[in-house]
Structure 1
Amino acid sequence: MSYFLPALLFVGLLLLISSFFMVKQQTAAIIERFGKFTSIRNSGLQLKIPLIDKIAGRVNLRIQQLDVIVETKTKDDVFVRLKISVQFQVVKSNVYDAFYKLEDPQNQITSYVFDVVRSEVPKMKLDDVFVRKDDIAIAVKSELNQAMTDYGYDIIKTLVTDIDPDQQVKIAMNRINASEREKVAAEYEAEAERIKIVAKARAEAESKRLQGQGIADQRREIARGLEESVEVLNNVGINSQEASALIVVTQHYDTLQSIGEETNSNLILLPNSPQAGSDMLNNMIASFVASNQIGEEMKKRNAELGLADKSKKTKRPKPQSGYTDADNSEDL
């Protein structure tokens, strides 16, 4: 009898120890007695009947995330892979339903995600999938909430975390994007070139205007100087024609002098003979005389034409009586 006492004490100790168990934070333990649900135990040190009560399972009450990759086709016949991240949590008051009603919640959520994505994405073009990814996430969340609430699960949030088109499509999209950027760059470069051309044209126009104004002022001053020179020569008994000729000859020799001062000049002044100055003076005097004669003749002709016009405009006087020449002839 004494041999069995230590064994009995050891078995009793094991039974006592097995009657206590721990439940972690944010976890619920399901207790069954002979295969039948008995209770739900929350976090902390818990007690059960040894060999009678059994921990059937533990339910995680923390927020969990499930990543689902769905491959589908868009409206413009482009195959695309979408990564949907679903954040879900077991409702603390519905632990029984979450444990007993649904055997594999992750497969159930995956099935609903596939169903919703493959019904929404084919309605959109590829560009719209990128723009309206929030609409896809909202549709998935709405469908999952309706389906999973009865099983004790709450869908916290759904996110479309990745959109991956076919590799050839991505290459084509990159080429389109690069072409668009090159087009915009070309437009900016053309606009910049146009602005430079317009600015250069305006600068040239302003330069020509100022140059013309300078030439006009220079010629005005030259004419004023010539006028003063003619007046000075007239005061010493030289008439205007001779004074003009003298000024021209003087300018001719001044020009020759300035050309001679240039050592590397290729300019040639024609005529350049010794008698060129006197010939120029004689020609100018002859031209002045001829022009005066032509002017006098034109004045005389204009005067004669004026007298002729006046004679044509004079009217014949009317007869004083009321009879015409025909009446007088009949009386005769």
Structure 2
Amino acid sequence: MFILESLGFIIFIVVILLIVGILSGNLFFVVKQQHAVIIERLGKFHRIVGAGFHAKIPFVDRKAATVSLRTMKNGFDIDVKTEDNVTIGLEVSAQYHVSYELGNTPQESGVYKSYYMLQQPVAQMRDFITDALRSSIPVYTLDEVFAKKDDIAKDVNATVSEQMAAYGFTLVSTLITKIALPAEVENSMNQINAAQRTKAAAQDLAEADRIRRVTEAVAEAEAMEKAGEGIANQRKAIASGIKDSLEIIQETGVGNDEANQLFMFTQWTEMMNEFAKTGKSATVVLPSDFRQSASMFEQMVTAAEANEQGNTPSAQ
């Protein structure tokens, strides 16, 4: 009889607890996707539950923590010094998440370690990244930091990943997103870059001018060569024409002197006709009497004879 009464009392207590648990929402609970819940029983770790519908003993079990399994991102501003004693500011972006490893026991899982072994994981990760950067950057010059920032970030990520794994975190990536320089250093670098660009532009302009001059000189030389050939051919044609004209005149019985005078007069006449057609001068001075044109021709002949006598050496 006593046993039945005790059993009934226990059942009564359980029913009361169930009713209270249901009414207070302390009996059933739901864990969202990409989350895990740590259950403690009477203040001691009991189990880890994943996404889904679960139940716990009211007032005995409690949800100690809800751990997100999603990838998170944090940014840090870190000051470091390069090999050439330039203090630069680095903006570092770190992506990380709680380790998905379960381990052989719950205490070896990433969820357990992330909650029980490290109280401020973000601050600790920042310290690890800062220490790694301040150990690696001083072996590089400023220019090398710009050129090798991705390699530096990979080395830092590998180092910090190993350290954070002990606390149940996986470091997905570490990126150096910006390198900030002191104002005076940035101005100096801009001036150096501007001077280099000016020098390169001057060299390009000088090379272009040299090519232009060479091209013009080659073209001028070729033009002069062609012009010389044309003048030579023209003179050959004129000489051949003069020779043929004199021969024809001489065949008529005219003497050499008369033939030469007649040829010169003909050339002078043609010259005046051509001048009248194409001459650009607005005024032409001619004899007032048309009959004096003969004296002009005689003056030309006399001048030619005087020139020939002057070129002939005198007899001793």
Shorter-chain TM-score category?
0.7 to 0.9
Q: Deviations over 1:85-122 (max 9, x none)?
A: 22222123112222111111111110000001111112
- One of 21, 28, 32 as aligned partner of 1:15: 21
Distance 1:112 1:293 in 2: 111
Are 2:220 and 1:204 equivalent residues in the alignment?
yes
Q: Calculate percent identity across the aligned residue pairs.
A: 35
- One of 88, 93, 98 as aligned partner of 1:80: 88
In structure 1, the partner of 2:297 is: 277
Judged with a 3 Å threshold, the aligned counterparts in structure 2 of structure 1 residues 176 and 285 are, in CA distance, closer, same or farther, namely closer
277-286 vs 99-108, which moves further: 277-286
In structure 2, the partner of 1:57 is: 65
Distance 2:206 2:310 in 1: 63
In structure 1, the partner of 2:11 is: none
CA shift at 1:259, angstroms?
4.1
- One of 34, 39, 45 as aligned partner of 2:53: 45
In structure 2, the partner of 1:264 is: 281
TM norm structure 1: 0.75
Are 2:32 and 1:24 equivalent residues in the alignment?
yes
Distance 1:181 1:149 in 2: 48
- Whether contact under 8 Å (2:132, 2:160) holds in the other structure is no
Are 2:76 and 1:68 equivalent residues in the alignment?
yes
Judged with a 3 Å threshold, the aligned counterparts in structure 2 of structure 1 residues 293 and 193 are, in CA distance, closer, same or farther, namely closer
Gaps of at least 5 residues in structure 2 are 1-13, 103-108, 287-291
- Which residues in structure 2 correspond to 1:165-204 (within 5 Å)? 165-204=181-220
In structure 2, what residue type is equivalent to 1:232? Answer: I
Are 2:271 and 1:245 equivalent residues in the alignment?
no
- Give 3-state SS (helix, strand or coil) of 1:85's partner: strand
TM norm structure 2: 0.79
Distance 2:311 2:80 in 1: 102
- Give 3-state SS (helix, strand or coil) of 1:151's partner: coil
Q: Deviations over 1:118-148 (max 9, x none)?
A: 1111211111111101121112112112212
Distance 1:236 1:283 in 2: 27
Are 2:136 and 1:120 equivalent residues in the alignment?
yes
| Aligned length in residues | 287
- Whether contact under 8 Å (2:153, 2:176) holds in the other structure is yes
Are 2:167 and 1:161 equivalent residues in the alignment?
no
Q: Deviations over 1:176-214 (max 9, x none)?
A: 333333333333333333333333333322332222222
- One of 232, 237, 255 as aligned partner of 2:271: 255
Judged with a 3 Å threshold, the aligned counterparts in structure 2 of structure 1 residues 236 and 293 are, in CA distance, closer, same or farther, namely farther
Distance 1:23 1:64 in 2: 19
Judged with a 3 Å threshold, the aligned counterparts in structure 2 of structure 1 residues 119 and 219 are, in CA distance, closer, same or farther, namely same
Gaps of at least 5 residues in structure 1 are 1-7, 299-332
- Give 3-state SS (helix, strand or coil) of 1:49's partner: coil
Judged with a 3 Å threshold, the aligned counterparts in structure 2 of structure 1 residues 99 and 290 are, in CA distance, closer, same or farther, namely closer
In structure 2, what residue type is equivalent to 1:81? Answer: G
Judged with a 3 Å threshold, the aligned counterparts in structure 2 of structure 1 residues 240 and 161 are, in CA distance, closer, same or farther, namely same
The CA RMSD over aligned residues, in Å, is: 3.1
